[in-house]
């Protein structure tokens, strides 16, 4: 296992800055995700780690080794691309063996390592088939085996599941985590799929315009977004603008057009002052509906549009104070169809109200 350390990294394409003075540390054996909108710099960062791009400034370390200007084939990284990139004229075993042949690995050892790699992704019985005889999911397993067989220092994955259907993505995301942990690989994984990142990552970084907005565990990023961009990108949320009336420790009382809320600061370093205008982020699933007020952090309203999805219902909750709409999810729906026109109260706990400084 190795750590990956990035210091003050800047990468430009002509006059466009893809990465701007970026700092990041990925711990040994960590499954680390890079997320962000298209053009945010996540793939540029991955390719810089792989050695396909040389930065204008800054450094990249694998452990204690400076690999910033080292050629890709000398970095000992395993790479999986969005496309399968398998040789169509070769068998599965030959595709997996390709990297070992380039490294002049002796035949007996090569055969053993190919068999081990295919077994690790549960594809040993398909060794003699051609890629066109495999499903998309099986081809991705072969691509993963090919990346693993060289025993890389780290594994780099560029949206490896984006071409698969939803069921296969669910299956293979768990497989990728299993393999990475079994081989104790430091892994950097680029994706646009939030659920993928939330479900299997150890930590993640959210990027925008070549800069990192937040780094943390899935729970930290989802429950304590540091800014509106992160809150809006990861999952769904309600944004409510208000004014700070009181602040103590990491809690703030905020007055809004629909009521007063007690919440927690999204980022301790961005501490607002009394009178400052802030934005509250409240996830739809955090609200609780009832016929009686819950006291603080409770607003009156009624259910407008509703979508029934079996285990959950999605409501547009119309606040009585000003007619504004909030998105609320109710698990095991009780009020769907029975509360038309009825005044209800939506209540949220203070730890679920995140105060963001614009």
Sign for the pseudo-dihedral over CA of 189, 191, 196, 201: positive
Say which residues have a Cβ less than 8 Å from residue 54's Cβ, sequence separation at least 6: 48, 68, 69
Query: Domain boundaries in the chain?
Result: 4-228, 236-356
The pLDDT of residue 294 is above 80:
no
pLDDT at residue 1 in the model? 83
CB 294 within 8 A of CB 347: yes
Give first-to-last CA distance, the chain, whole Å: 39
Give the residue carrying structure tokens 């103590």: 248
| Percent of the chain topping pLDDT 90 | 69
Backbone conformation region of residue 7, classed left if phi is above 0, alpha if psi is from -120 to 50, else beta? beta
CB 290 within 8 A of CB 255: no
Give the residue carrying structure tokens 């002052």: 273
Model confidence at 12, pLDDT cuts 50, 70, 90, reads: very high
Q: Using the 8-state DSSP alphabet, how is residue 93 labeled?
A: H
CB 159 within 8 A of CB 151: no
pLDDT at residue 337 in the model? 63
For residue 209 the two structure tokens come to: 């315009």
b/e code 208-228 from CB counts within 10 Å (16+ = b): bebbbbbbbebeebbbbbbbb
Rounded CA-CA distance 129/91 in Å is 5
pLDDT at residue 326 in the model? 96
Q: Which has more pLDDT, 103 or 245?
A: 245
The pLDDT of residue 279 is above 70:
yes
Radius of gyration of the chain, Cα coordinates, nearest whole angstrom? 25
Least confident residue range of 4-8, 163-167, 187-191, 298-302? 163-167
Average pLDDT value over all residues in the chain: 92
CATH classification code of 236-356:
2.40.50.140
Model confidence at 336, pLDDT cuts 50, 70, 90, reads: low
Query: Is 292 exposed, middle or buried (CB count within 10 Å of its CB: 0-12, 13-18, 19+)?
Result: exposed
Rounded CA-CA distance 311/309 in Å is 6
Q: Average pLDDT for residues 37-59, to the nearest whole number?
A: 94
Domains 4-228 and 236-356 are alike in CATH topology: no
Rounded CA-CA distance 233/235 in Å is 6
Q: Class of 4-228 per CATH?
A: alpha beta
Give the residue from 356, 247, 350 showing the smallest Cα distance to 296: 350
Rounded CA-CA distance 116/336 in Å is 54
pLDDT at residue 339 in the model? 60
Model confidence at 71, pLDDT cuts 50, 70, 90, reads: very high
Model confidence at 163, pLDDT cuts 50, 70, 90, reads: confident
For residue 173 the two structure tokens come to: 């995301």
pLDDT at residue 174 in the model? 86
For residue 225 the two structure tokens come to: 């977004």
Least confident residue range of 31-40, 158-167, 315-324? 158-167
pLDDT at residue 244 in the model? 97
Q: Specify the pairing of strand 31-35 against strand 186-190.
A: parallel
Rounded CA-CA distance 156/176 in Å is 12
pLDDT at residue 173 in the model? 86
């Amino acid at each position: 296992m190795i750590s990956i350390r990035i210091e003050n990294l800047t990468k430009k394409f002509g006059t466009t800055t893809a990465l701007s003075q970026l700092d990041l540390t990925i711990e040994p054996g960590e499954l680390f995700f890079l997320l962000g909108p298209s053009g945010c710099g996540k793939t540029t960062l991955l390719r810089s780690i792989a050695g396909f791009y040389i930065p204008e400034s800054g450094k990249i370390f694998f452990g204690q080794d400076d690999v910033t200007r080292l050629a890709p084939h000398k970095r000992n990284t395993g790479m999986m691309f969005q496309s399968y990139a398998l040789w169509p004229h070769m068998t599965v075993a030959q595709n997996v063996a390709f990297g070992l042949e380039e490294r002049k690995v002796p035949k007996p050892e090569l055969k053993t390592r190919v068999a081990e790699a295919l077994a690790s992704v549960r594809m040993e019985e398909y060794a003699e088939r051609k890629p066109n005889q495999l499903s998309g999911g099986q081809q991705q397993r072969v691509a993963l085996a090919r990346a693993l067989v060289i025993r890389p220092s780290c594994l780099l994955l560029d949206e490896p599941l984006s071409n698969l259907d939803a069921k296969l993505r669910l299956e293979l995301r768990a497989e990728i985590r299993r393999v990475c942990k079994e081989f104790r690989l430091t892994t950097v994984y680029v994706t646009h799929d939030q659920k993928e990142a939330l479900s299997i990552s150890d930590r993640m970084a959210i990027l925008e315009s070549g800069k990192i907005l937040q780094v943390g565990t899935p729970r930290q990023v989802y429950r304590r977004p540091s800014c509106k961009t992160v809150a809006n990108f990861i999952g769904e949320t309600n944004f409510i603008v208000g004014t700070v009336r009181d602040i103590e420790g990491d809690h703030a009382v905020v007055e809004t057009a629909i009521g007063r809320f007690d919440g927690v600061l999204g980022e301790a370093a961005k501490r607002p002052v009394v009178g400052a205008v802030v934005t509250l982020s409240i996830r739809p699933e955090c609200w609780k509906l009832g016929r009686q007020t819950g006291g603080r952090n409770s607003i009156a309203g009624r259910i407008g549009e509703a979508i029934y999805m079996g285990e959950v219902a999605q409501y547009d909750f119309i606040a009585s104070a000003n007619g504004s709409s909030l998105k609320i999810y109710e698990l095991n729906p009780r009020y769907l169809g029975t509360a038309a026109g009825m005044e209800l109260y939506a209540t949220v706990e203070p730890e679920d109200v995140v105060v963001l400084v614009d």
